[in-house]
Structure 1
Amino acid sequence: MNTNFPKNTILEDETVLLRPLLESDVENLLEISLNEPETWEYSLVRANVKENLENYIQIALKARENKTEFPFIVFDKKSGKYAGSTRFYDINLEFKTLQLGYTWYGKAFRGTGLNKHCKFLLLQFAFETLGMERVEFRADNNNQQSIAAMKSIGCKVEGVLRNHMPTFGSEVRRDSIVLSILRNEWFDAVKENLKRKL
């Protein structure tokens, strides 16, 4: 079991490359940030407009320094373009758990299979390199597209946290759905089922 999260982790296959997010990645993600406001519909931290994207990246990098999160930038090899970002967060190496989320892609990359490639690499790394016992996922319970994507990779619904979080620019609070994959589920079926979908 690793005691520290590897700093220069790069995950890749023939379709996608995930590398550590950098401050300079503002330029690589700016086009999506400026032109696709729907990307942030369910996000509490907006990354629309350059200033907000810079802030989003700074928050992610600070969390990496504190060893509670590990953010990646996603590069789509087929198009030769940066597609978005994702991260591990709430990393607890002692308990062998983490969450996988803060995932967003530009609209040109949604529905292309890119997400399944990313999730395969991230889950394989979490279970097979870091030795995690549980990987958790959360989403706004109204975000049907995200929930469907998580179920399609093999996540099991655990329940809904009612009135769990504030929502951006509103007094209405959101319910958060919680899903997960356990280590034995990954090795028993999820890994092979997801691999067949790649």
Structure 2
Amino acid sequence: MSLVLFQNTILEDETVLLRPLLEWDVENLMEISINEPETWKYSLVQANGKENLEKYIQIALKAKENGVEFPFIVFDKKSGKYAGSTRFYDINLEFKTLQLGYTWYGGAFRGTGLNKHCKFLLLQFAFETLGVERVEFRADNNNERSIAAMKSIGCKVEGVLRNHMPTLGSDARRDSIILSILKNEWFDDVKENLKRKL
């Protein structure tokens, strides 16, 4: 399946709806952007404040246009509010691989189980519709909350890329932890284990 065929893909269950991110979603994410700048503490691409959020969305949409990323906005059905954003990136359908990341939620949505619902839908789509063999995840090795969340959905740690990237507003460089889920792992046990946690 090519990226063109899922340009309008919507993924949803009883808890969450993920739809393609659009330019005017600036308004839907503005409250988090302005009031919770710490959300992007570990990110090189900031979305805090209207100008940064607009730029963040423009970059994501350009990458989608180029066929290497697919960004979603996350809608929490329980509260009736937009919760954040996530995306597939480094998509290589020839090699049947992609990365899942750029995930962030407002503080009110963290620890609510929303992330597990999102990840279940995204992983199911990646492995069962797109037919990928591997989904990779990366994070700043100091980002304990993000690493714990990835492990809790069934990701396996592969290693750490030392001194891998610059950090924002600092001369320091970050170590990046690499985790992944393989297609056979998804079907063998990750899918059922994650489903039980929903």
Normalised by the size of structure 2, how large is the TM-score? 0.99
Which residue in the other structure is 1:195 paired with?
Answer: 195
Which residue in the other structure is 2:93 paired with?
Answer: 93
Which secondary structure does the structure 2 equivalent of 1:9 belong to? coil
- Tell me how far 1:37 sits from its aligned partner: 1.2
Separation (CA, whole Å) in 2 of partners of 1:36 and 1:97: 32
> Deviating runs (4+, > 3 A) in structure 1?
none
Which residue in the other structure is 2:51 paired with?
Answer: 51
Match runs of 1:6-155 below 5 Å:
6-155=6-155
In the TM superposition, what whole-angstrom CA distance separates every residue of 1:57-96 from its partner, at most 9, and x where no partner exists? Answer: 0000000000000000000000000000000000000000
Q: Residue type of the partner of 1:181?
A: I
Which secondary structure does the structure 1 equivalent of 2:56 belong to? helix
The answer for unaligned runs of 5 or more in structure 1 is: none
In the TM superposition, what whole-angstrom CA distance separates every residue of 1:86-143 from its partner, at most 9, and x where no partner exists? Answer: 0000000000000000000000000000000000000000000000000000000000
Separation (CA, whole Å) in 2 of partners of 1:4 and 1:116: 24
Which residue in the other structure is 2:2 paired with?
Answer: 3
Which secondary structure does the structure 1 equivalent of 2:39 belong to? helix
Normalised by the size of structure 1, how large is the TM-score? 0.99
- Tell me how far 1:38 sits from its aligned partner: 1.0
Separation (CA, whole Å) in 2 of partners of 1:33 and 1:104: 11
Separation (CA, whole Å) in 2 of partners of 1:134 and 1:46: 27
Which secondary structure does the structure 2 equivalent of 1:82 belong to? strand
Aligned length: 197
- Tell me how far 1:20 sits from its aligned partner: 0.2
Q: Residue type of the partner of 1:195?
A: K
Separation (CA, whole Å) in 1 of partners of 2:171 and 2:62: 28
- Tell me how far 1:3 sits from its aligned partner: 2.9
The answer for unaligned runs of 5 or more in structure 2 is: none
Separation (CA, whole Å) in 2 of partners of 1:3 and 1:88: 14
Identity in percent: 87
Which residue in the other structure is 1:165 paired with?
Answer: 165
Separation (CA, whole Å) in 2 of partners of 1:45 and 1:85: 13
Which secondary structure does the structure 2 equivalent of 1:186 belong to? helix
In the TM superposition, what whole-angstrom CA distance separates every residue of 1:13-68 from its partner, at most 9, and x where no partner exists? Answer: 00000000000000000000000011010010110010000000000000000000
Which secondary structure does the structure 2 equivalent of 1:51 belong to? helix
Which secondary structure does the structure 1 equivalent of 2:8 belong to? coil
